[in-house]
């Protein structure tokens, strides 16, 4: 029970560790998803602000003719003055205007005016009518002059003049990313803290539920095992009482069932049978003669030789015993041993005349130890054989009356000194195997 308790608690803590790892993975995944979602939201807001406020204002001060060639002279000076006074701010660091050919028509940096810069993917999207944005690559040749502003977000907005549906060019607006980054960071921290707190509470709740459930199951399992053990002991006592009652009826075989059950189990262990089969063999040994309850006393207890008719009556006891025992569910396997315990390996036994492996292994094992016990016990019609004589008799009948493999195992049992003589056998020596309910 202590081992089961440790195992039960171990499973709970294993669950706790695994669920913690799973929660951590889920938390990291959710944090990553939410972090990206928050950042994407604010980037969309930056793009919307640039489109709705700045570009519309700038567009009112442009004409289609301005995009035909780079601004210069008085026009550049006039437009640039207005941009610096009305457009540029802490949020908007710089602005460029591109025409359809990808040439810079206007920039705060006069040296960029008239330049064409290759690999402008985001610009290409804007010239095809799609607003887009990206973080500014300050190492790029085009953006060398923007390094002093720190992190910038470039918003590309298509230029479409009122009354026209054709894209005439594109605005490139450099928005300062630092205020947005700070706000994004603060928002993400609050979301992460809330997520950690929520997952922590969920984990604690789940762990508490599982632990309480495991404790309840353990208590119920312990109670069930206790009841099962008590019931098993009651079954064992009942079987022993039934076996003893048969001994009381037939004084000549007193203690016989207990001895053969013990020896059958020991022999079965040599043959390597499973614990479940050991249990079946023990019960079969205890109950092998239960069918004699249905044999009349004048036949069962007759002191002299039996007639042919009386032998026929005696031979009915395996079938009678089978009918009794097979009615009890947990003794179904033992019932087969009860019916077959007088079968012979050569097929000359009764009641079914089974041969070789047709005979259940438990019955083949029982046949050897039952014969040994009968030969080494006194009977009114003969004296008991010595241990050596009985062993020799069994060895000689291997392959006819007995299964040769079982006889070989029996001889190994004898050589090990594990075969307890009848006179030294005590009831408490029986092999106690718990009942499987």
State yes or no: cis peptide before 380, omega within 30 of 0.
no
Q: Is residue 375 part of a domain?
A: yes
Residue found under tokens 């075989």: 253
Domain boundary, last residue among 173, 188, 203: 188
- Residue 82's SS3 state is helix
> Are 293 and 174 found together in one domain?
no
Q: What is the DSSP string of 312-368?
A: HHHTTHHHHHHHHHTTSGGGHHHHHHHHHTT--TTS--SSS---GGGS-HHHHHHHH
Q: Is residue 240 part of a domain?
A: no
Q: Is residue 155 part of a domain?
A: yes
Domain boundary, last residue among 153, 172, 188: 188
> Are 146 and 267 found together in one domain?
no
> Are 259 and 180 found together in one domain?
no
Q: Which domain holds residue 139?
A: 2-188
Residue 5: per-residue pLDDT: 45
* CA gap 279, 432 in Å, rounded: 9
Domain boundary, last residue among 188, 203, 221: 188
- How many beta carbons lie within 10 A of that of residue 3, not counting itself? 7
> Are 391 and 305 found together in one domain?
yes
Calculate ∠ Cα 36-38-42, nearest 5°: 115
CATH number at residue 311: 1.10.3210.10
Q: Is residue 220 part of a domain?
A: no
Q: What is the DSSP string of 374-411?
A: HHTS-BTTBPPPPHHHHHHHHHHTBTTTB-HHHHHHHH
Q: Is residue 228 part of a domain?
A: no
Q: Is residue 215 part of a domain?
A: no
Q: Residue 160 has what DSSP assignment? A: -
> Are 129 and 270 found together in one domain?
no
> Are 280 and 419 found together in one domain?
yes
pLDDT in tens, 197-247: 777 777 777 777 777 777 777 777 777 777 767 666 666 666 666 666 666
> Are 134 and 280 found together in one domain?
no
CATH number at residue 137: 3.30.450.20
> Are 421 and 284 found together in one domain?
yes
Do 275 and 433 meet the contact criterion of CB atoms below 8 Å apart?
yes
Alpha carbon distance, N-terminus to C-terminus of the chain? 18
> Are 81 and 183 found together in one domain?
yes
Q: For the chain, give the number of residues.
A: 437
Residue 136: per-residue pLDDT: 65
Q: How many domains does the chain have?
A: 2
Give the contacts of 148 (CB within 8 A, at least 6 positions apart): none
Q: Residue 155 has what DSSP assignment? A: E
Residue 1: per-residue pLDDT: 46
Residue 432: per-residue pLDDT: 45
Residue 427: which of 232, 244, 229, 230 has the closest Cα?
244
* CA gap 241, 231 in Å, rounded: 15
Residue 437: per-residue pLDDT: 42
Residue 257: which of 391, 336, 369 has the closest Cα?
369
Q: Is residue 73 part of a domain?
A: yes
- Residue 234's SS3 state is helix
- Residue 159's SS3 state is strand
Q: What is the CA 329 to chain-centroid distance, rounded?
A: 32
> Are 172 and 282 found together in one domain?
no
Residue 257: per-residue pLDDT: 81
Do 198 and 190 meet the contact criterion of CB atoms below 8 Å apart?
no
Q: Is residue 236 part of a domain?
A: no
> Are 263 and 367 found together in one domain?
yes
> Are 264 and 141 found together in one domain?
no
Element (DSSP H or E) covering residue 134: strand 132-135
Q: What is the mean pLDDT of each run of 10 residues along the chain (437 residues)?
A: 49 70 72 67 70 76 90 91 86 86 90 84 87 68 51 85 88 76 65 72 75 74 73 63 60 70 90 90 87 84 83 90 84 89 93 94 93 82 82 93 94 83 58 45
Instruction: List the structure tokens of 266.
Output: 């020991």
Residue 433: per-residue pLDDT: 46
Residue 337: per-residue pLDDT: 92
């Amino acid at each position: 029970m202590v081992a089961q308790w440790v195992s039960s608690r171990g499973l709970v803590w294993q669950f706790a560790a695994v669920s913690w790892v799973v929660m951590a993975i889920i938390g990291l995944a959710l944090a990553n998803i939410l972090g990206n979602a928050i950042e994407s939201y604010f980037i969309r807001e930056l793009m919307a602000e640039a489109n709705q406020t700045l570009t519309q204002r700038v567009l009112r001060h442009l004409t289609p003719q301005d995009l035909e060639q780079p601004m210069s002279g008085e026009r550049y000076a006039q437009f640039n003055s207005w941009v610096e006074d009305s457009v540029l701010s802490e949020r908007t660091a710089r602005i460029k205007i591109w025409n359809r050919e990808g040439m810079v028509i206007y920039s705060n940096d006069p040296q960029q005016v008239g330049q064409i810069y290759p690999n402008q993917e985001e610009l290409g999207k804007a010239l095809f009518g799609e607003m887009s944005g990206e973080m500014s690559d300050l190492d790029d040749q085009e953006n060398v002059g923007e390094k002093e502003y720190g992190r910038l977000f470039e918003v590309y907005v298509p230029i479409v003049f009122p009354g026209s549906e054709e894209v005439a060019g594109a605005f490139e607006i450099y928005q300062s990313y630092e205020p947005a980054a700070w706000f994004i960071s603060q928002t993400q921290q609050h979301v992460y803290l809330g997520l950690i707190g929520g997952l922590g509470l969920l984990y604690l709740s789940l762990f508490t539920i599982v632990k309480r459930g495991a404790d309840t199951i353990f208590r119920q399992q312990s109670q069930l095992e206790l009841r099962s053990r008590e019931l098993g002991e009651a079954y064992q006592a009942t079987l022993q009482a039934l076996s003893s009652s048969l001994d009381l009826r037939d004084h000549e075989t007193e203690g016989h069932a207990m001895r053969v059950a013990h020896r059958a189990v020991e022999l079965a262990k040599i043959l390597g049978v499973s614990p479940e089969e050991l249990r079946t063999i023990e019960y079969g040994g205890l109950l092998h003669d239960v069918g004699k309850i249905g044999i009349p006393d004048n036949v069962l207890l007759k002191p002299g030789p039996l007639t042919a008719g009386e032998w026929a009556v005696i031979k009915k006891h395996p079938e009678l015993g089978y009918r009794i025992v097979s009615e009890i569910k947990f003794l179904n396997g033992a019932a087969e041993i009860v019916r077959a315990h007088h079968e012979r390996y050569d097929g000359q036994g009764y009641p079914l005349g089974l041969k070789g492996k047709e005979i259940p292994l438990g019955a083949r094992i029982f046949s050897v130890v039952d014969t040994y016990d009968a030969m080494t016990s006194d009977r009114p019609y003969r004296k008991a054989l010595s241990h050596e004589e009985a062993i020799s008799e069994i060895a000689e009948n291997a392959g006819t009356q007995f299964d040769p493999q079982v006889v070989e195992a029996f001889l190994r049992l004898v050589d090990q000194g594990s075969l307890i003589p009848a006179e030294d056998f005590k009831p408490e020596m029986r092999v106690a195997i718990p009942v499987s309910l």
